[in-house]
Structure 1
Amino acid sequence: MRSPRTLAAATLVAAAVWAPPSASAVTPPPVDENLLPAPAPPGPPQPTTRFGDCVTADPTASDTGGRPGQVAGQDLRAVWALTRGAGQTVAVIDTGVARHRRLPHLRAGGDYVSSGDGTDDCDGHGTAVAAIIGAAPDPTGNGFTGIAPDVSIMAIRQSSNKFRADTDPAGSGYGDVATLAAAVRTAADLGATVINISSVACLPAGAGLDDRALGAALAYAVDVKNVVVVTAAGNTDGPGQCPAGNPDASSDWADVAVVASPAWYDDFVLTVASVGPGGVASPFTLAGPWVDVAAPGEDIVSLAAAGEDTVRVTGTSYAAPTVSAVAALVRARFPELTARQVMRRIEDTARHPGAGWNAEVGHGLVDALAAVSGGSSPRPTPSTEPLTLTPAAPVTDTGARDTALRAAVICVALSVAVAAGARSRRRRDPVPGD
């Protein structure tokens, strides 16, 4: 059920259409390092204006008690006995992250929407994402704490539903794959050890989204700057989100009907699907051969950007930060592991589906304790625990249903061929550097 208040980010729009060479399977464009955005101070590439009111606390989305969905099935006390994430910096590339007493380790990273420094959040989306990762415990004891409460959060505002370009007076948001590419490079250059991207651009397979600069930025972050990049799979449950999905998606990319960026750059990102109570894939989570792991994305508790309220939210945007937090915990616990080894460890220690990897939940539910324990080997023995979750306590309102940056559906009446060659998958092939 939708709340009247929606914690939604700006539409991530496709900047251009790219026509790759003809072939038989859908793949992302090849990475071209020459398209890496040049280093530059963060800022919108064109003047923008805020056209909507910023979000305020709304009682209809407020937390009504009960166990936070994101900690279901996780033994955080045991995890925190080993590490709380100190020394790690998670860049939240989103709608900004508001300064809040429960985000004491927040640092400014830059603003691609307006003239701020990244610590303004007019939409409320980025603050909710950041708090899932690193909110400090509340002295009043309301039971909500970030998964990695000692990490630093780097706030980068890259999109907003409350701003539009001055050249587009009818626009309904700001931020695209080009500004996302620039933000990824900035986060990597500023020292992030983990990057969280809870935004998705979706379009029908074969339409051809020109996100090659983003691909180059992701490759730079992972292979040059040694950063773990985590991204949301995307939602299919409403207007402005991904199309109907990939009901036939498997390891065969030929079955893909809808592509999602940056998720489809699977060699460089951990793509996170959403599950609900019981470990079942959420009905809105976008399936695909790029899905790596899953995390709870329903009935999630987090912070409101304004005031002291906590809210309950739902969506793959709020599944991704749980995995980003686990990545930070692993990096703090095992600093010798490379970014690729950390990603592999999270996959290998997930609670695997009975039949093995699948396109809905990937390798299964992320397991924080398994990921941070069991020695320092980058290739631990996979967990055999079934994919199950402890159901969260009932609440009177499920909160705002996330739009994963209202994943832009690009419907083009244009025939374009698809890229050549099948792409190797991290879930099957050896990881370079392992």
Structure 2
Amino acid sequence: MKRTVLTLSLLAGLAITACQKELDQAPPTGQEQQSSSDLRSDRLPSNLPTAGAIPGELYVRVHRSAKEGLRAFDAGSSTAMQALPSLFSSTLQRLGASSMEPLFPIDPRYEGRMRRAGLDLWYVVRFDEKQDLKAAMQSLMSVPEIDYTEPVLQLAYPQGKPVGVDLPPASRHDATLPFNDPQLADQWHYNNTGTGDHRVAGADIGLFKAWETQAGKSNVIVAIIDGGIDTDHPDLVDNLYVNEAEKNGKPGVDDDNNGVVDDVHGANFISTYNGGKGHPKLYPDDVSHGTHVAGTVAARNNNGIGVSGIAGGNGSTGSGARLMSCQIFGVERENGNSQRALVYAANNGAVIAQNSWGFRYGSGITEIPESLKEAIDYFIKYAGCDDKGNQLSTSPMKGGVVIFAAGNDGQDYRSFPGAYPPVIAVSSMGPGWKAAPYTNRGDWVDIMAPGGDERYSKGGVLSTLSKKITKTQEYGYMQGTSMACPHVSGIAALLVSEFGKQGFTNKDCEIRLLGSLKEKDIDAENPSYRGRLGRGYIDASMLFASNSGIKPKTITDVKVENISFTTADVSWTGVEAQGGKPLEYRFYLSETPLTEANYEKVKDALYARINGLGYAKGAKVAVPLAALKDNTKYHIGVVAVDRWEQKSLPTFAEFTTRKNNPPVLKLEAEGKLRVSSVQKPTFTVAISDPDGHKFSVNVGGETRGVSYEEVKDGKMKFTLRAVAEPGKYEIKLTATDILGAKSELTVPFEVYTYVAPTFNSSQQPAQIVGLSQQLPIEIPALFSTSTEGVPLTYKATSSDASVASVSISNQGKLIIQGLKTGTSTVTVEVNDGFSPAIRTTIPVRVVTNVSDVLYAAYPIPAKTTMNLAVNPRAGQVTVEIYSLLGAKAYENKHNVSGDGTIRLSVGKLAPGAYTLKVKSAQGTTTKSFVKN
């Protein structure tokens, strides 16, 4: 094989000249040429894991606008690294790059389509193996001309050794069998009679009946992308693909001008790998994996030796499909280039790509490598076509079919490449209807075929082995999805042999292939893996079933029951289709109204594919719906589909889910929430859900100093501490039920600096209390500082309890009770529990009538001074003194203040009896007194 590698010399070399041969410069469809200033700015390297990838190698894709400057790389001419754009060159030097070559060498015959598909943009860059791959990818992505980078993943090598069998004598042939191959009777996977360890009659691919119609034609080429086929095997040699130009040409010369030298039976894609190390010729891998796979697809039939192949012909000259060996692994754990193998197969006549390989389990691969995706897409689109994409006159099919083994990890996960949607992924069963324990599973699996189970005697798949590997035996048993996959590829070869012609497409092939199933419910046989093993068991005999063109009956009774917030149960009655049962029911669900015109076009409307083989006519087909949105109107559609992809008329219905009410939050707190260093106030929030759903509570906002308990008995208790600096804050509570409905509550609180309470004065204004009356006084009104939020205790005493008694009400009021006329002093004590207690006094006078202007005059008899106890509310009074004869002895105006006491000087009055009058706006009080 010719190897196109550009060595990157660090020494000065020849510059790329402007006189290079003009090649097809057409960009991919819909993509225009761009200048370097138009390069994308949103480029990202691959998300593929680098752990376990090939060290010192990366695949890179350059931008179309940068391609012209890399033409010399395509041609393989020598140039200096300095001829590259400066950043490109310096980055490669920094990585210690040794070479850069096209990932997909151009096949001159198909140069136009390869460039249109963008395959010419891919390169393999090799560099110092000590470089960290992730760092190298990031460095290369800094180069404007590079559009994408990804690691080179290692293949998962076949596990286990084949169980060889001795070649039986030709006389063993059973004349009742279709062909005279002596080991055909042991190939239970073709025709299972139920005789043998754990074998169940009918658990096979129905091949004998299929052979009555078709056994394979030589114009159908199957690419065995695998270990190399033993091209000297006597049971394979007559059915090998032969490149006549190379077979009859000169050794070491690319006689057919396809870019590959001496590719007589295919090509070895290890030879251009690892910097050119490897084997240039095809050779069998170290467990005969490729040889075994090839034998299942198309070992020569009716030749009197060994085994039979599914599409191995009938023994007549020219019958049997052709096997193209595209070697991607061999001995010593070599890694080949599957991407190149797929493109080579498409360019050299193969229309079926058989792939019993994958990547290593546990490597964290969650997507298909972009380079492999483009190679698969190229095979599917261009296999069997000319450079313009038209079907070749010599090809039985337009476009290709790519078939992959699901993998042997025994896991339920997306195993790539099989999980890539455009390929057909094959799971495996043993000699009964049960899934083999090793088979991978998932909703991406398309179909099941026999792969064997070596827990049972002769329970594996019997096929060809290479004596170059086994030394003695050329036939043996192996197990795996690797063995199941070629059953599907062989059946595909039968299908194309029978129906292939001008106008027959890969879509036609895929529909019929995936519709060729046994009347056996795969889900009923494997209930633990329902919907995870493929649509059913492949049956070669059903390939040639006649299509009458009658569509399945229309479903008439779609019911929607048990509608809740997020779930509902949909059911209908199974209908009849050609052959008895529909192949599947397709169930559509959307918030967009569905009609006959749009139901297949509405994005993501296809909700489920139900295996119709499990439901007889009249049986109830049920689809439980989950993860719906509440209070939402849904539209549903159901169609029955037969094996020819013919659909019944769709049946539609609609329903609305119940409305989900959010949780209810209610603050239980009295007054404002204030917190200081001397207090820890608490409050509760009552939480409930109107629909009885479980819920969670998130506490946000200001949470410094906020502690809380889990919800108990529908309530959540909070405690506040003064941790945040003084100011006003909010606690934000969000309650979310299990269906996502939310409600919020904002709880304001204040952090303040606490100041101990003080009274306005050590002595309060005098208070007048009527005899037998009560006087309430608001104690907080006596404070000079606010103590809101701090509980206070009060105590009060009266200096003369016979004049006035005191008490404290439940509301914190001071109650003074007048008992007899006179005066007393009430002492009030307040304690906050933190600071020393504070005290104040209140003079109290108990009077007969609090509305009088003058309450008392004393002492009587008076000598020099007489005190008048005046109503403090009088404001201003006029005081007059008259003798008994009516002569005015004194008159003056006095302002009343304080406790209302007025001191009169009466020393100049002559001894005797007098009349005292005190006048105010409220009235006049007259009183007699004696002057000594």
Establish whether TM, by shorter chain, passes 0.5: yes
1:155 aligns with 2:325: yes
Task: Rate the CA distance shift 1:59–1:122 in 2: closer, same or farther, 3 A.
Answer: closer
In the TM superposition, 1:188-267 aligns within 5 A as 188-203=346-361, 207-208=365-366, 211-225=369-383, 226-236=399-409, 245-246=411-412, 258-266=413-421
**What is the 5 A alignment of 1:164-175?**
173-175=333-335
Equivalent residue number for residue 802 of structure 2 = none
Task: Return the match for 1:368 from 526, 540, 543.
Answer: 540
| Pick aligned residue for 1:38 from 104, 111, 132 | 104
Asked if structure 2 preserves the Cα contact closer than 8 Å seen for 1:119 and 1:155, the reply is: no
**TM alignment of 1:52-71, pairs within 5 A:** 61-62=164-165, 67-71=186-190
Using the alignment, how far apart are the partners of 2:358 and 2:420 within structure 1? 12
In 2, are the aligned partners of 1:39 and 1:185 still within 8 Å (CA)? no
1:300 corresponds to which residue?
A: 461
1:145 is aligned to 308
Q: Give me the whole-angstrom Cα distance separating, in 1, the residues matched to 2:428 and 2:521.
A: 14
Q: Provide the residue aligned with 1:395 in structure 2.
A: none
Q: CA deviation at 1:259?
A: 2.7
**Deviation of the 1:61 alpha carbon:** 2.9
1:195: Cα distance to partner?
0.7
Distance 2:522 2:346 in 1: 37
Please state how far the C-alpha of 1:18 moved relative to its aligned partner. Answer: 2.8
Distance 1:370 1:40, change over 3 A: same
- Consecutive unaligned residues of structure 1, counting only runs of 5 or more, are 1-16, 21-31, 47-54, 164-172, 237-243, 247-257, 388-420
8 Å contact kept, 1:124–1:305: yes
Instruction: Give the alignment partner of residue 210 of structure 2, picking from 66, 79, 84.
Output: 79
Tell me what 1:185 maps to.
343
Q: What is the alpha-carbon distance in structure 2 between the residues aligned to residue 131 and residue 385 of structure 1? A: 34
The 3-state SS of whatever aligns with 1:285 is coil
The question of whether the paired residues in 2 share the 8 Å contact of 1:292 and 1:347 is answered with yes
- Which one has the largest radius of gyration? 2
| Superposition deviation, residue 422 in structure 1 | 7.3
CA contact (8 A) 2:189 2:431 kept: no
User: Which residue matches 2:239?
Assistant: 105
* CA shift digits 1:311-360 (9 cap, x unpaired): 01111100000100110111111114311221221212212526599444
Secondary structure, counterpart of 2:186 in structure 1: coil
Distance in structure 1 (CA, Å) of the matches to 2:340 and 2:538 = 29
Going from structure 1 to structure 2, the CA distance change for 1:273 and 1:188 (only over 3 Å counts) comes to: same
- Distance in 2 between residues matched to 1:427 and 1:34, nearest whole Å: 40
Amino acid corresponding to residue 124 of structure 1 in structure 2? S
Is 2:162–2:478's contact at 8 Å kept on the other side of the alignment?
Answer: no
The answer to whether 1:89 aligns with 2:221 is yes
Q: 1:260 to 1:310 in 2, by over 3 A?
A: same
Equivalent residue letter for 1:332 = S
Give 1:158 deviation, angstroms.
Answer: 0.7
Question: 1:280 aligned to 2:434?
Answer: yes
- Cα distance change, pair 37–371 in 1 and its aligned pair in 2 (3 A): farther
Question: 1:229–1:270: 8 Å Cα contact kept in structure 2?
Answer: yes
Q: 1:304 and 1:354, CA in 2 relative to 1: closer, same or farther beyond 3 A?
A: closer
The size of the alignment, in residue pairs, is 329
Q: Distance in 2 between matches of 1:260 and 1:60?
A: 27
Q: Deviations over 1:282-330 (max 9, x none)?
A: 1110001211011101121011111553101111100000100110111
**Partner secondary structure for residue 287 of structure 1:** coil
Pair 1:202–1:34, CA change in 2 (3 A): farther
Which one-letter code corresponds to 1:343 in the other structure? E
Letter matched to residue 18 of structure 1:
S
**Whole-Å Cα distance in 2 between the matches of residues 202 and 153 of structure 1?**
26
- Distance in 2, Cα, partners of 1:234 & 1:328: 22
TM-score, with structure 1 as normaliser: 0.65
Over 3 Å counting, the alpha-carbon distance change for 1:125 and 1:213 in structure 2 is same
Q: Under a length normalisation based on structure 2, what TM-score does the superposition of the two structures give?
A: 0.32
Q: Give the Å deviation of 1:385.
A: 8.6
Q: Structure 2: which amino acid aligns with 1:82?
A: T
Name the structure where strand makes up a greater proportion of residues: 2
Which residue matches 2:563? none
Q: Distance in 2 between matches of 1:105 and 1:34?
A: 42
Shift of 1:70: 2.4
Conserved in 1, the CA contact under 8 Å of 2:346 and 2:382? no
| Stretches of structure 2 lacking an aligned partner (at least 5 in a row) | 1-44, 49-60, 65-101, 108-123, 127-157, 169-182, 193-203, 242-264, 271-277, 313-319, 384-398, 453-459, 553-576, 584-602, 611-638, 647-932
| Residue 122 of structure 1: how far off its partner (Å) | 4.0
Pair 1:326-2:326 in alignment: no
Q: 1:362 to 1:209 in 2, by over 3 A?
A: closer
* RMSD after superposition: 4.1
Identify the residue that residue 475 of structure 2 maps to in structure 1.
310
In 2, Cα distance between equivalents of 1:234 and 1:19: 22
CA separation of 1:309/1:337 partners in 2, compared to 1, >3 Å: closer, same or farther? Answer: same
Distance 1:95 1:153 in 2: 13
Name the aligned partner's letter for residue 187 of structure 1: A
Q: Which amino acid aligns with 1:131?
A: G
Once residues 425 and 159 of structure 1 are traced to their aligned partners in structure 2, the CA distance between those partners, rounded to angstroms, is: 40
Question: Identical aligned pairs, as a percentage?
Answer: 25
CA distance in structure 2 between the aligned counterparts of 1:363 and 1:383, rounded to whole angstroms: 16
Q: Deviations over 1:233-252 (max 9, x none)?
A: 0002xxxxxxx511xxxxxx
Q: Is the 8 A contact 1:285 1:360 kept in 2?
A: no
Cα distance in structure 2, aligned partners of 1:138 and 1:189: 31
Separation (CA, whole Å) in 2 of partners of 1:223 and 1:315:
29
Distance 1:62 1:138, change over 3 A: farther
CA contact (8 A) 1:18 1:210 kept: no
Deviation for aligned residue 1:203 = 4.6
Q: 2-side partners of 1:302 and 1:187: how far apart?
A: 23
